[in-house]
Each structure stands twice: as C-alpha cells, then as structure tokens.
Amino acid sequence: MKKRDKILTTLQGLTSTVKRYPVSIILFLCSAILTSCYINNNKLTNFSEFLISFLLGATIYMLLQMIYERFFSGTKIRLVFCAVAILAATIYYLVLVYVLKAFNPETVIRTMVIFFILIIGFIWIPSIKSKIGFSESFMAVFKAFFIVAFYAGVLYLGAALVLMATNNLIVEVDSKAYFHVGSIIAFIYAPIHFLSLIPIYPGFSENDNLDKVDGETDSDLEELKPSKFLNGLISYIVIPITTIFTAILLLYILLNITGDFWKDNLMEPLLVSYSITVITVYLLASVIDSKATKYFRMVFPKVLIPVVLFQTVSSILKIGELGITSGRYYVIMFGIFATVSAVIFSILPNKKNNIIAPILIILSIISILPPVDAFTISKGNQINRLHKVLIKNEMLEDDMIIPKADLSNEDKEVIRDTIRYLDDMDYIEDINWLQSYNETEDFEKTFGFYQYEWTIKKYETYNLYLPEKTGIDVSLYDFFIAANLDWNNQDTNLLAEPWGDKGYFLILENTKDNSDLVLMNNTEDELLRYSLNQIFAKIKDRQERSGILSPNESEFRIENDNAIVSIITRNITWEIWEDREYKNIDAYIMVKIK
C-alpha cells in the first residue's frame, strides 16, 4: 500500500505540474522532439531558431504563470497568457528567420539577456507585495536547480552505463542513443522536475495583500527553507572561504592601488566573479539563521561597496585604452547594479531588499534596447576608434583604405583590436569603407601589416624519405652504422666504440652554418670530410618538397685516397623560417677503408 501511495503521489505531482505549466511543458516536449530529429538528421533547417523559440516561449509562460498565480484568477486570463507565450515564441522565430536572417553573436547575447530577464522575473514576481521575500524565492529556485542538476546528472550517467553494457554484452547500440537520452533528460525530465519543486506561493488579495489563497500555510512552503545540508554548507564552509578570499583581495588592492592595478586585465573578471559570489551568498544567507550568516549580512555589503567601485572605475578607465565592447558594457552595468545592491543591503532589512530584482531587470532591458544598448554603443565606439586611427595615418581616402606599414605599434594595435571585435560581431559588412576587407579577409593586403605579431613571414619545409624494405648493397664496405644527424651545435661521435685495428671513428662537426661528417683514425688523422650542406643543396633543386626518395636520390657517395663513405638518407627534414632553420637527417652510413 505504501509503495502504491508513493507512486500515486508522484503521479499526482507530475499531473499537477503539467496542469500548472501546460504551455511550458508542451514547448519543452517540442524541443525534445526537434532535438531528436536533429540528432538523426543534422541537416535540419533552422534548428537553432526553432529550438531557441520553443525554449523562449516555455520560459515566458513560466513567468506569466507566476504573474497569474500572484495577481489573477479565472480561466480567461490564463488562456490569454497561454496565447501570449505561444505568440511570443512565434514572433521571435519569424524575427530570427525573416528579419535578422543570421544567428550572429549580437543576437545570441540579446537572447541570453532576454532569458536572464525572464528568469529574474520568475524569481521576483512571488515577492511583490508579499510576505515572501526575494531571498526566499531565490532560495526555492536555487535549491530546485541544483537538486534537478544532481538527479539529471545521475540519471544520465546511469542510462549511459546501461547503454554501454548493452553495447558491449548484448547488441550494438548506436552512438546517437546517448544524445537521445541526453535530450530527453534535458528537455523533458529536468524541466518537469524543476517546475514540480517550485512552490505555489501566496496569492494576492484586494482586501489584504498578505492573504493566502487556497488555504496555504507556512508549512506548505517548505521549499523556501534551506535544508540542513545547505545551512551547514553556507554557514561553515562558503562564508569562511569568502571571508578569507575577501581579506586577500582587499590586501592586494591596498598594496597595488598606486601601481598597475587599474590596468590589470586579470582583476576585472576576478572582481566581477567576487561580486556575483557575494550577492548570491547574501541572498542565500538572508534565509538562514545562524551567527555566521548574521555576521555576513552585517559586514559584507559594506565590504562589497569599495570592491565594486574599484571594479567599475577600472573598467571605465580601460575604455580609453581598449574602447567599449559589449562585454565591457555589461561589466560596467553589473558594477552599477552591484554598487546599488550593496548600498541597499547595507541600509535595508532583509525583507525590503526585493527592489534589487527590478533594478537588475531595468538595467538588463536598457542593455538590449537601442540607442543605449550594449551593441549600438560598442559598435559606434569601435568604428570611431578605427576611423580616427585611419584618418590620423592618412589611410582612408574616398571610402577606400590605403595600406600602410610604417605605423606606430599603438596604432597598429588599435586597428587589430577594432577589426577583431567588428569581425567577431559580424559588423564588418555594415561599414562601407571596410568592404575591401570584407570581400578578401586579407588583413595584410588591406592595411599593410600583419594581423598578428607572431605571423610567420617566411616558411618552407622539405620532408623526404626512403621507403621501408628498400634493399641496400653493403658488400663493398667495411663497417655500417645507423645515425641521426642533427644540427645541435655540438660535435657528436657517431660510433659507440672505435672500429678496427686503427680505431676509426666518425665525427659529426656542427658549426653555426654547416655540419661536416669527418672520418678519423685513433691518432686523430683526418681521412675524409664531407659537408652535409651538399645534401640540402641537392634536395633544394627538387620540384617536390615532400614524398619518396628513389634509391639513387637517397645515396650520397664520397671517395678520396683514404676511404669511401656512402650516406643513405632514410629521412630528410628541413624547415626554413625567416630567422632560423631546422635540419635533420636519419641515415645509414657505410665506410670502406683503402
């Protein structure tokens, strides 16, 4: 009976989630079906546009359902919200396909910001004019997300192990099965489980804005309370580690504030990450009642203020050096938000800090709405920087760029940085006087210098080899050795022990410009000398720089009154740069003493 009751309770929870978020579940299901089709046929047209539109519509309805539960009642309003979510997804798809016609980086970032706004709204709506605070709503979503992430990870791992065992022990399993399982978990299991963990918050009453609908009690909102594990994790691990890191960070700032601190490229992401961590921990700590969390709520907002001010000022100063990019725009926007949030946390009680959510939403909306959005401002700024440098160096005439190599390194870097950013954001084609670069994408030809300082101006390579199993006649010679002739600026004895009664040995003499093979006897009398540069001079005349050597081509024979030496080259490697070269010969060496 107990097992049956558990199954019935689970099914009821699943059913209630589907009833609560019908449009979201349908669109998530469509995403799973679409992804499965794409896995089977990766040539599916407009896959990304369809998928993002489905996910956007699902997220919009999640937000609208929160608005409905908080402020409305009645079937008609809910049906209107269903239609709005579906219509929004449809419009977004049509805009992507027929208006923008390209899923470029700007569109990706705008879409990510829209999703972010919807998620923050989803968390914030239940706290509007409610006894439920933003921190409590944040706690519910935070818990739900990581619970689902853990279960989804374990579920996928288990399914993957089952598929692997089936493939190895019973029947071959198509590798696409792993992707299908991932798709089902990501778009069906995870969203349903996540939404089932979101509590039904108190509704809004016209007579008393703290009234609850449907007889909700505090005990019905256990999802708003932290688990014992999370309580201990935040109080005794996260907060102490954050405290130690804060001390190190503040000490670094104090020691370097007059040095290169303001130009340190590593500090900006570090300070942003620190600010995000502190704000997140503060919101979680606001729901936890312990000595550590009380200390954190009292002290850290005040510590956060100077840190985010430093970060914001540092980012603003870098605008003069690197210009405005969409990334730097968002860093500055976040700095403004973090500063305001720190002030609010410092002066307002926990229950009254809900205002940070609408502030974050407003700043996010500003960042994607022209003419003050991140993309319009950054595009204009980078184009102006490039235009000024070109005019300054007389490289722009009648909307045509004149290549010029004798620029200062600073101006070259400005041109490189701006072109790289404009190219990455797909803005090049919108600029008339950059059409020559847009058509050829040849940076050197357009501007007169290389795009990267480390660009190799000259590079040649030779790689020739004698096929394996090639027969070699050794009957004429007295001794035979296999040797690797490497130009390492050190003389090398190629024989482990002297050969014969007179102790003959072979020396590889290396100098800066040459390498000689020298045959000597035990009294160090030179019997024969051969410059290996003659081998490279011969292969330089070859039309083909890589491939097979014939037996005749591979043999280099030297003879004088004292001896005969034959070098059979098994492999020749020669790499030539503008300022250096690398030579290596793997060879058989045969010697005949006269």
Nearest of 264, 223, 191, 150 to residue 32 by alpha carbon: 191
CA quadruple 10, 11, 14, 17: dihedral, nearest 10:
-100
β pairing state of 400-401 and 396-397: antiparallel
pLDDT digits (tens, 9 = 90+) for 288-309: 888 898 999 899 999 999 888 8
* C-beta of residue 40 within 8 angstroms of C-beta of residue 57: no
46-55, 269-278, 364-373, 535-544: least confident range: 535-544
Crossing angle, helix 267-285 and helix 134-169, to 10 degrees?
A: 110
Rounded to an integer, the average pLDDT of 141-160 is: 95
Rounded to an integer, the average pLDDT of 572-578 is: 84
Tell me the pTM: 0.75
Q: Would you tell me how many other CB atoms lie within 10 Å of the CB of residue 410?
A: 9
234: which 2 tokens?
């935040």
Judged against a pLDDT cut of 50, whether residue 166 lies above it is answered with yes
* C-beta of residue 539 within 8 angstroms of C-beta of residue 572: yes
pLDDT for position 148: 96
pLDDT for position 7: 59
pLDDT for position 207: 37
pLDDT for position 351: 62
How many angstroms separate the CA atoms of 310 and 271, rounded?
A: 9
pLDDT digits (tens, 9 = 90+) for 61-112: 999 999 999 998 888 999 999 999 999 999 999 999 988 867 789 999 999 9
φ, ψ at 504 (rounded to 5°):
-70, 145
What would you measure as the largest C-alpha separation in the chain, in angstroms?
Answer: 119
pLDDT for position 15: 83
pLDDT for position 581: 84
pLDDT for position 223: 66
Rounded to an integer, the average pLDDT of 399-419 is: 89
Map residue 465 onto helix, strand or coil. strand
Can you give the three-state secondary structure of 353-410, one letter per residue?
HHHHHHHHHHHHHHCCCCCCCHHHHHHHHHHHHHHHHHHHCCCEECCEECCCCCCCHH
Separation in Å, CA 220 to CA 92, 139, 379, 483: 37, 15, 51, 82
How many angstroms separate the CA atoms of 262 and 274, rounded?
A: 17
In the β-sheet with 515-520, what is the strand arrangement from edge to edge? 492-493, 505-510, 515-520, 526-531
Neighbouring-strand partners of residue 577: 459
* Banded model confidence at residue 469, pLDDT cuts 50, 70, 90: confident
140: which 2 tokens?
């519910």
pLDDT digits (tens, 9 = 90+) for 182-233: 999 999 999 999 999 999 887 754 434 443 444 444 444 666 778 888 889 9
Rounded to an integer, the average pLDDT of 553-572 is: 90
Looking at every residue in the chain, the average pLDDT score rounds to: 86
How many angstroms separate the CA atoms of 521 and 147, rounded?
A: 80
* Banded model confidence at residue 458, pLDDT cuts 50, 70, 90: low
φ, ψ at 513 (rounded to 5°):
-110, -5
